[in-house]
């Protein structure tokens, strides 16, 4: 799958690049109104970086002068992922399978609903008693109602959802769950098979049986296959427990078009997406997506530090930039190459809290980039690594409108040569593809003056169509959250200047 944004014949020279960039912007959104003049300014700023990087990396094996990148044969090693295994069993199977419920379905002959109704009625009665004067209350009667209310609530919390199984079956389910969620090997060992069969002989576990197959058999047995999103969640689990080597291309690029399409993934996107159309075949919310840092790719493209690294299927053919990316990660290199930062990996590392361990692709890519930088800058391949945003942010100076994951995200890494650390200058103000002027707009690739029909709220600074805003009494436009209609003055007023007027008679 690829997208045709313009002619791509022959070498990518400046004139072709300008037209391709303009076509790309206008294809993504009619709001951009990209012009040849504006895109020429973008390309001109990028060419300064491009010439320097072309010269720096031209002797590296895999260098592609036409596409301004390095193309490497690469085997994506998908190792066992304990985090995904834990997620499948503990946050999905345990929840939908009812493993925390009690086998008991009644207390004193009454089920959960009965005890809930009993509690609510007694709680209402208790509330009424609390409203009465103290001298109107029988102490012992009130105390008895309080005790009954607390008992009803306790029984409501303790009585379980009836699972329609015996206690032995319920216990077997819990024991098998405990065993399966603690196995991170691809195949079942003899000891594990015997243990599982001891709990539930219907599973017919055997030495050498794939854990994914055994788990699927167990999920079918307990009836969890009908749970929403089961197939999607099980596929993640199967990938996580079945190590695999997948031949791919790994591309290290400083191509302007790769920056602009850095978040055009095969099934994912990110806050750096410039598009607002369904150009990927997405569905749902992602089908009309413009990243909240959509001008970030332009910010990266102009600096002298950033390269975008991404993987493609082995069947991919040049030009690579308009093929949906499997995974993508930003790297930022210091002037002399002795220090570089490795950003967040999409989509494999989407968790806001990061992963417990450094997973395979992340480590693989860093080691590959380390070797490439060592050769390109003629420095030793003897790197020290530090993980975490604190270590990275201490060695950066940031400008422009990109999202600074290296300052906010736990799974980032800095590599450096001992005693030769450098500060990395990341980002520049983006250039508007319409007028060619620099700007500081984060949400938009275009500047505020070039967005026809869009106006910035004078209070919160957010852009909206002018029809969604109100012209206030001070001559400024504001959104619904930042202004209020004053009936006394018969006009909209800023919330900060809004007073309540009392008419005195």
pLDDT digits over 45-72, tens only?
999 999 999 999 999 999 999 999 999 9
87 and 56 within one domain: no
Average pLDDT over every residue of 384-407: 93
Q: Is residue 61 part of a domain?
A: yes
Nearest in space to 384 (alpha carbons), one of 350, 419, 346: 419
**Burial group, residue 17, by CB count within 10 angstroms (0-12, 13-18, 19+):** buried
Q: Identify whether 56 is part of a domain.
A: yes
Residue 349 lies in a domain: yes
Q: Which two tokens stand for residue 173?
A: 């389910």
**The domain boundary residue, chosen from 426, 446, 470:** 426
Distance CA(387)–CA(172), nearest Å, equals 42
408: Cα within 13 Å, side-chain hemisphere: 7
Q: What is the pLDDT of residue 337?
A: 96
Q: Final residue of a domain: which of 225, 241, 257?
A: 241
Do 140 and 128 sit in the same domain of this protein? yes
Q: Which of 221, 375, 255, 234 is nearest to 325 (CA)?
A: 255
Q: Determine the pLDDT at residue 72.
A: 95
Domain count, the chain: 3
β-strand pairing of 454-456 with 413-416: unpaired
Evaluate if residue 214 carries a pLDDT over 90.
yes
Q: Which strand (E) or helix (H) includes residue 342?
A: strand 339-346
Residue 15 banded pLDDT, cuts 50, 70, 90? low
| Alpha-carbon gap, residue 116 to 111, rounded angstroms | 9
Mean pLDDT to the nearest integer, 105-112: 78
* pLDDT at 8 exceeding the cut of 60: no
Torsion angle of the four alpha carbons 163, 164, 167, 170, in this order, in degrees rounded to the nearest 10: -50
Does 503 reside within a domain?
no
Task: List, as own/partner pairs, every contact residues 111-114 make where C-beta atoms lie below 8 angstroms and the sequence separation is at least 24, other chains included.
Answer: 111/159, 111/162, 112/156, 112/159, 112/160, 112/161
The pLDDT-based confidence of 409 (bands split at 50, 70, 90) is confident
Same domain, 249 and 163: no
Q: Higher pLDDT residue, 137 or 370?
A: 370
Q: Is 281 in the same domain as 422?
A: yes
Does residue 441 fall inside a structural domain? no
In the numeric block, which tokens belong to residue 16? 């072709």
Weakest-pLDDT range from 10-14, 19-23, 205-209, 347-351: 10-14
**Are 86 and 108 within one domain?**
yes
Q: Is a pLDDT exceeding 80 seen at residue 498?
A: no
Section 465-486 average pLDDT:
90
Which is higher by pLDDT, 480 or 105? 480
What confidence tier does 315 reach under pLDDT thresholds 50, 70, 90? Answer: very high
Residue 502 has pLDDT above 60, yes or no: no
Check whether residue 66 and residue 108 sit in a common domain.
no
Mean pLDDT for 186-214 is 93
Host domain of residue 344? 14-79+245-426
- Judge if 169 and 30 occupy the same domain: no
- Of residues 129 and 332, the one with the higher pLDDT is 332
- Banded pLDDT at 397 (limits 50, 70, 90): very high
255 and 309 inside one domain? yes
Phi, psi of 232 (to 5 degrees): -65, -45
CB 320 within 8 A of CB 244: no
Q: In terms of domains, do 156 and 111 share one? A: yes
149 CB-contact burial (10 Å; exposed 0-12 / middle 13-18 / buried 19+): buried
Is the confidence at residue 39, as pLDDT, over 60?
yes
Q: 142 and 128 share a domain?
A: yes
Residue 475 pLDDT more than 90?
no
Q: Report if residue 450 sits inside a domain.
A: no
- State the virtual CA torsion across 244, 250, 256, 262 in degrees, nearest 10: 10
Last residue of a domain, one of 180, 210, 241: 241
**Res. 309: pLDDT tops 90:** yes
Can you read off the two tokens belonging to residue 495? 């919330």
Q: Angle 339-343-344 (CA atoms, 0-180°, nearest 5)?
A: 160
- What percent of the chain clears pLDDT 70, i.e. is strictly above it? 86
Picking from 97-101, 212-216, 236-240, which range would have the lowest pLDDT averaged per residue?
Answer: 97-101
Report the pLDDT value the prediction gives residue 100, as an integer from 0 to 100.
52
Q: How many residues does the chain have?
A: 505
Q: Which range among 175-184, 216-225, 329-338 has the greatest average pLDDT?
A: 329-338
395 & 408 share domain: yes
Rounded to two decimals, the pTM is 0.66
Chain-centroid distance, C-alpha 469: 31
109 with 210, same domain: the answer is: yes
- Residue 113 in any domain: the answer is yes
Q: Tell me what pLDDT residue 466 has.
A: 80
């Amino acid at each position: 799958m690829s997208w045709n944004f313009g002619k791509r014949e022959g070498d990518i020279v400046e004139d072709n690049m300008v037209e391709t960039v303009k076509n790309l912007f206008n294809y993504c959104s009619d709001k951009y109104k990209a012009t040849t003049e504006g895109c020429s300014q973008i390309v001109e700023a990028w060419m300064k970086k491009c010439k320097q990087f072309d010269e720096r990396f031209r002797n590296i094996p895999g260098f592609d002068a036409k596409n301004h990148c390095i193309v490497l044969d690469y085997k994506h090693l998908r190792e066992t992922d304990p985090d995904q295994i834990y997620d499948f069993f503990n946050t999905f199977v345990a929840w939908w399978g009812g493993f925390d419920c009690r086998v008991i379905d009644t207390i004193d002959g009454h089920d959960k609903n009965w005890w809930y109704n009993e509690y609510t009625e007694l709680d209402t009665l208790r509330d009424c008693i609390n409203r009465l004067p103290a001298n109107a209350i029988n102490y012992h009667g009130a105390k008895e109602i309080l005790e009954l209310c607390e008992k009803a609530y306790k029984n409501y919390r303790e009585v379980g959802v009836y699972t329609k199984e015996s206690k032995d079956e319920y216990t077997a389910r819990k024991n098998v769950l405990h065993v399966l969620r603690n196995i991170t090997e691809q195949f079942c060992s003899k000891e594990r098979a015997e243990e599982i069969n001891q709990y539930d002989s219907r599973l017919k576990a055997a030495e050498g049986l794939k854990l994914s197959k055994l788990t699927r058999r167990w999920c079918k047995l307990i009836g969890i296959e009908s749970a929403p999103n089961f197939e999607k969640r099980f596929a993640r689990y199967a990938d996580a427990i079945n190590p695999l080597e997948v031949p791919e291309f790994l591309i290290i690029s400083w191509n302007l078009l790769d920056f602009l399409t850095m978040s055009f993934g095969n099934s994912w996107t990110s806050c750096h997406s410039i598009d607002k159309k369904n150009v990927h075949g997405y569905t749902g919310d992602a089908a009309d997506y413009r990243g909240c840092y959509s001008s970030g790719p332009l910010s990266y493209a102009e600096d002298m530090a950033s390269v975008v690294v991404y993987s493609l299927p082995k069947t991919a053919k040049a030009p690579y930039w308009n093929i949906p990316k499997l995974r993508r990660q930003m790297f930022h290199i210091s002037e002399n190459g002795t220090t570089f930062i490795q950003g967040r990996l999409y989509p494999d590392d989407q968790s806001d809290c990061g992963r417990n361990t450094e997973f395979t692709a992340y480590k693989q890519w860093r080691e590959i980039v380390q070797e490439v930088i060592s050769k390109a800058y003629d420095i030793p391949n003897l790197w020290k690594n530090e993980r975490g945003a604190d270590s990275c942010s201490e060695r950066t100076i940031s400008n422009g409108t990109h999202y600074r994951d290296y300052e906010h995200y736990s799974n980032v890494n800095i590599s450096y040569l001992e005693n030769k650390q450098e500060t990395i200058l990341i980002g520049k103000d983006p250039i508007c593809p319409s007028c060619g002027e620099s700007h500081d707009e984060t949400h938009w690739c275009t500047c505020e003056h070039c967005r026809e029909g869009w106006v910035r709220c004078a209070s919160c600074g957010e852009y909206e169509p002018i029809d969604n805003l109100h012209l206030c009494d001070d001559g400024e436009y504001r959104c619904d959250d930042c202004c209020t209609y004053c009936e006394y003055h018969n006009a909209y007023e800023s919330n900060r200047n809004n007073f309540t007027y009392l008419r005195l008679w």
